[in-house]
Structure 1
């Protein structure tokens, strides 16, 4: 994917180079070759059965880990080691073991290590693989500085249901956007010195009722079309490992799902890395009801293709006996160990010196990492609405009231899974506004109005007084950190507590008001969307939230984020997504017996791909390079994009298609390519987007890709509401079998 130059990124890329001597040099994975395979086989041939199983045991810092397990060769990988001193101690113990095999050190490094970048869902709103790669590389460089070498990221779970709390860790609802960003994150982590463990394989993002850990039912053709492409993109980008999901998929738990772990991942995609379980995921096979005890759970997991047991202690306890009893062939254990060792050799762990135990994560954030976090964050903010051009803050404003508990919430702005993030490093939103206002001689007043959960609104009167005394009001509300992330599913996505009431009272002051929403997913706004003219979705912006938000509120940078998922009007609309199938009874406003609700609009509040700017963009002159397409060719569409406003800005040019007549019902719209471009006021650029013809097809249940002859409608614009610009014709039907894909549906975007 091509991306136009973005202000400041070249400088940030240079900063990464300049910090090279200070940070450990990221080691690219060695290309697979006979030398690595020879070393793997030689080492495997020297190992006892117990030592082999030890390589498949992943144990966390703290109980049940015994430090002597490392020197005895009983722990091939360790997690939650986040200090150089502990890593160095473990490395020294590994060198005391008989075979001196270095361990992996894993940690959840999702959106930063010490310096926190926006949460992945927010990062996805930038529609920029370049920024995703940059953020991942910074996170990896900081983590690898203290000896972490493996991250349980990126999360490649597509989700269409905002009730699911972990939607914040992913990229939203679209497989093409998800594939592009997942690949970029894998590459960024690797460039910064971390091997990736792409998770959760697979279908975890579609739990029934939006309830975390619940079962999922997804037809196999839908898996291939929608849920698997981001994972395939990760494999193609070089993900070192995958993590099996907690959930049962169509009645078969992913941790014992041979179709997923062996047939698809290894057979069809040719993946040669290893698979780890999630936390005690193998033991949970007993709860799923497919194993009577730990021994059977271990047997089923390894035979399905799970190579490493995270915190279950079941492989180390049961696999030697299972092998000796003939229930698990030793060749299966050998192959699992071979995958783990191969990864360690590819990472260069056998040839890398131990970490310096004096290194501390307090070396961060650096000025460069702060600048990077700020640059990424301000491109993720989505201007949902701006009636009357309330934003940016007018130059005539001499006083601003900043209202809301999340304006001064240094921990909450980091979001969940903040690794080694410290609230003391945070620049809060109110502090960022103060810094920016100070330079313009603007007075800033702050009043929280209520507590973080907005249950106690005893501070409302003070907040209203601050608003009345000010020329402009910035309200900062949304989801505190504890309401988002893992185990944070919600049955009601309305603004929690008394937030709506507080915002109504602020609106009644008659002051110009803008709402900054913080959170890990869309929230049901109800009357707030009518009462508050300007709403900016800021997600969880990270360490540099304050300066980044101020940059956009004051108009120093025009907002350019686009929604990576559909924003519902009410919770009852969920799951809700733009690329749905047509119905035999499409919506007719005056016909009850068509697709609709009797108590809510059928449309979302804001569609996928939506996001306003402080300027305007016009599309013209769209043209298809070829009207007739054959196998091996590409759909190529060019369009002029003009910045018709008075401010510089960025626009995400989006290409969608529809197959109107096919052997199977096909989605009403499908994103197939996008490009983020920067345009100065009055400037025009001609953008060309290319889509391989193979990416215009769909899958059958066995994984065969079917591209059918016939018309393909083409839409280009700034959101999923883009207008049709033409139609192409696929000349002949063709099929590509699962094992013979020439181009993955996970990477349809032109390079």
Structure 2
């Protein structure tokens, strides 16, 4: 008998009642609207059969659309502003064009909405996908949402998501089981609002302390990075054997060498596009990915940067970004590491980098419309860039708004349709593994419950406290006694009071001063889109810094306790004579810091990287100076921590 197509929260279902009046029913979605259960629509069919059946039904344009990983457009935003975080929902007219006209089915979301509204918006995307010719569901990805730092193009904060330490904080605890529990909790939150793919973790090793993105790594030790990244993948995906129906696919990044950033300058920027390292150093960066690859991360994202000074397959590396490097992707990653998952390019590598990108000015700053990272292939046409990336081994291109250049590459004979099919299979297989063809919709009411889980919040809060690193505690000043009178800078008075401390406004009335500070940084490239938002330059505190002035003033009257958010490895040498206690934090609320200072919680972390003794320059990095605090330092860490 023919089924009946229905609509509603769960989307279009065909209910095929069994014979003889059985009360049981087999549910399936009539994705191509023909009233028949085709093999790719059959939940009981093997995934490979479903993939091949669907692939055989697709046009060239539908295939090339599958290789695009776009951005879900925010309502009220211009196309150039699509990189921004939208708090107004999606522009569904544009979404329907991307899905129906351009045949795209993979998108990053940058919405910032309460859980139920977020879920409703993602359901709307799935309804648009359901209406397409073949009904291919959307895979919705995101940058990290469960930490404190929010930098456009790298991370975001979402309303209602649990707040855990930065990944550096997990590295400080060296607790793989905790990372797995975090990953599982974050994955439940993602899936509850309709997100299926995490564009994380970063398995980059932070060997250049000035690099702005070190905060999202697991530190500078390749072995620790490998273990932590592997646990992250296991937690998000639901195990070590690949992604499960209820898990979230991870895209480990950035393959490979990104953390060796020259002068600390980031590869998003024209001035940070080149990195120099030798083969021995490159091997350490590669080793850091082993844990994530062993845990069968669903995907890998290549780095932006061009590697110099290394050889691949016995030849000097071609001076192109990793997304265009066949030796790095097809040779080393697929051949050497046996990786057969999805390779997704970083965003905008096929776009031009005009003068506003390479040499912006106060009169002509770089705006989203001028963002492009075609490093090493600037001389190629856009179609040639796509062809080179596909030949190198890419399966999807991140951040593109039209797959037409891929179609043109096939029609011009630059890429074979058989090669396109290889990538389409990988994309479709992952969608089936995630269960999206059978149930892409979510319940907005459940989203509110999942994202409000008090047990998850409690564990996240505990992790914020435990991940702090006690570097200095002269005379055992910490913990402060209950009722101690404290003068504050940079710390919420209500958090201090909740921890049992008495807040005073005059230093002469205080028993101690608590100063919460950020690690030093400079804005060296104010007209570059990403450079203006990233922390670059110096790491050392100077006497002219407002926080240092406050510390020196307070130290002339009372003991000073300092808590420093270590998004990069700060140089604390100038601070030591004026402080009695120093805490390093890696994503912690004021309440978490106050509880540690007051003894309501213990800082158990150990440094995930060295803290330099002297100001950092490229020359000083190779000089072998002894660090002020070496990696592994931490007075609060008990044996075995």
Measured against the shorter chain, the TM-score band is 0.7 to 0.9
Describe the shift of the 1:170–1:246 C-alpha distance in structure 2 as closer, same or farther (beyond 3 A): same
Match of 1:67 among 86, 96, 106: 96
Partner of 1:383, secondary structure, is strand
1:212 paired to 2:258 = no
For these two proteins, the number of residue pairs brought into alignment is 512
Partner of 1:468, secondary structure, is helix
- The equivalences for 1:216-227 within 5 A come to 216-224=275-283, 226-227=284-285
Unmatched segments (≥5 aa) in structure 1: 1-32, 409-429, 448-465, 581-594, 597-601, 614-648, 653-675, 677-751
Partner residue in 2 for 1:651: 639
Partner residue in 2 for 1:495: 541
- The equivalences for 1:26-105 within 5 A come to 35-62=46-73, 64=79, 65-72=94-101, 74-80=103-109, 82=111, 83-105=118-140
Partner residue in 1 for 2:169: 122
Unmatched segments (≥5 aa) in structure 2: 1-43, 80-93, 112-117, 148-157, 239-245, 309-318, 352-371, 525-529
- CA shift for structure 1 position 34: 10
Alpha-carbon distance between aligned partners in 2 of 1:118 and 1:145, rounded to the nearest angstrom: 21
Alpha-carbon distance between aligned partners in 1 of 2:377 and 2:334, rounded to the nearest angstrom: 26
Alpha-carbon distance between aligned partners in 1 of 2:521 and 2:443, rounded to the nearest angstrom: 34
- CA shift for structure 1 position 266: 1.2
Q: Is the 8 A contact 2:349 2:374 kept in 1?
A: no
Describe the shift of the 1:72–1:313 C-alpha distance in structure 2 as closer, same or farther (beyond 3 A): closer
Partner residue in 1 for 2:632: 609
Describe the shift of the 1:574–1:133 C-alpha distance in structure 2 as closer, same or farther (beyond 3 A): farther
Describe the shift of the 1:217–1:574 C-alpha distance in structure 2 as closer, same or farther (beyond 3 A): closer
Q: Pick which of 99-108 and 37-46 moved more.
A: 37-46
1:329 paired to 2:416 = yes
After TM superposition, which residue ranges in structure 1, 4 or more long, deviate above 6 angstroms? Answer: 480-486
Alpha-carbon distance between aligned partners in 1 of 2:550 and 2:457, rounded to the nearest angstrom: 33
Q: Is the 8 A contact 2:305 2:375 kept in 1?
A: no
Alpha-carbon distance between aligned partners in 2 of 1:529 and 1:361, rounded to the nearest angstrom: 46
- The equivalences for 1:636-647 within 5 A come to none
Partner residue in 2 for 1:157: 204
Alpha-carbon distance between aligned partners in 2 of 1:34 and 1:229, rounded to the nearest angstrom: 38
Q: Is the 8 A contact 1:274 1:339 kept in 2?
A: yes
Partner residue in 1 for 2:292: 234
Q: Is the 8 A contact 1:277 1:306 kept in 2?
A: yes
Partner residue in 1 for 2:460: 373
- CA shift for structure 1 position 50: 0.4
Alpha-carbon distance between aligned partners in 2 of 1:482 and 1:363, rounded to the nearest angstrom: 39
- The equivalences for 1:117-266 within 5 A come to 117-191=164-238, 193-213=247-267, 214=272, 215-224=274-283, 226-250=284-308, 251-266=319-334
Partner residue in 1 for 2:562: 515
Q: Is the 8 A contact 1:160 1:576 kept in 2?
A: no
Match of 2:613 among 565, 569, 592: 569
- The equivalences for 1:357-368 within 5 A come to 357=444, 364-368=451-455
- CA shift for structure 1 position 193: 2.8
Alpha-carbon distance between aligned partners in 1 of 2:129 and 2:329, rounded to the nearest angstrom: 30
Q: Is the 8 A contact 2:522 2:535 kept in 1?
A: no
Partner of 1:185, secondary structure, is helix
Partner of 1:571, secondary structure, is coil
Give CA-to-partner distance per residue, 1:106-132, whole Å, 9 cap, x none. Answer: 111253552211111122111111222
Q: Is the 8 A contact 2:488 2:503 kept in 1?
A: no
- CA shift for structure 1 position 255: 1.2
Q: Is the 8 A contact 1:81 1:105 kept in 2?
A: no
Alpha-carbon distance between aligned partners in 2 of 1:479 and 1:360, rounded to the nearest angstrom: 36
Partner residue in 2 for 1:552: 596
Match of 2:489 among 382, 392, 404: 404
Alpha-carbon distance between aligned partners in 2 of 1:142 and 1:481, rounded to the nearest angstrom: 33
Q: Pick which of 134-143 and 119-128 moved more.
A: 134-143
Partner residue in 1 for 2:154: none
Partner residue in 1 for 2:574: 527
Alpha-carbon distance between aligned partners in 1 of 2:46 and 2:52, rounded to the nearest angstrom: 10
Q: Is the 8 A contact 2:203 2:229 kept in 1?
A: yes
Partner residue in 2 for 1:443: 502
Partner residue in 2 for 1:667: none
- CA shift for structure 1 position 290: 4.8
Q: Is the 8 A contact 1:73 1:98 kept in 2?
A: no
Q: Which structure shows the bigger proportion of residues in strand conformation? A: 1
Partner residue in 2 for 1:538: 585
Describe the shift of the 1:110–1:201 C-alpha distance in structure 2 as closer, same or farther (beyond 3 A): farther
Partner residue in 1 for 2:478: 391
Q: Is the 8 A contact 1:384 1:536 kept in 2?
A: yes
- TM value normalised by structure 2: 0.75
- CA shift for structure 1 position 232: 2.5
Alpha-carbon distance between aligned partners in 2 of 1:483 and 1:538, rounded to the nearest angstrom: 22
Describe the shift of the 1:307–1:402 C-alpha distance in structure 2 as closer, same or farther (beyond 3 A): farther
Alpha-carbon distance between aligned partners in 2 of 1:136 and 1:651, rounded to the nearest angstrom: 26
Give CA-to-partner distance per residue, 1:409-429, whole Å, 9 cap, x none. Answer: xxxxxxxxxxxxxxxxxxxxx
Alpha-carbon distance between aligned partners in 2 of 1:556 and 1:170, rounded to the nearest angstrom: 28
1:356 paired to 2:403 = no
Q: Is the 8 A contact 2:320 2:375 kept in 1?
A: no
Q: Is the 8 A contact 1:124 1:564 kept in 2?
A: yes
Give CA-to-partner distance per residue, 1:527-575, whole Å, 9 cap, x none. Answer: 211220210111221xxx2343233222233322111101012233568
Match of 1:306 among 373, 384, 394: 394
Partner residue in 2 for 1:434: 497
Partner of 1:650, secondary structure, is coil
Partner of 1:351, secondary structure, is coil
- CA shift for structure 1 position 347: 1.6
Q: Is the 8 A contact 2:306 2:375 kept in 1?
A: no
- CA shift for structure 1 position 154: 0.5
Alpha-carbon distance between aligned partners in 2 of 1:222 and 1:480, rounded to the nearest angstrom: 27
Describe the shift of the 1:540–1:402 C-alpha distance in structure 2 as closer, same or farther (beyond 3 A): farther
Partner residue in 2 for 1:453: none
Q: Is the 8 A contact 1:73 1:97 kept in 2?
A: no
- CA shift for structure 1 position 143: 2.0
Alpha-carbon distance between aligned partners in 2 of 1:336 and 1:220, rounded to the nearest angstrom: 30
Partner of 1:125, secondary structure, is helix
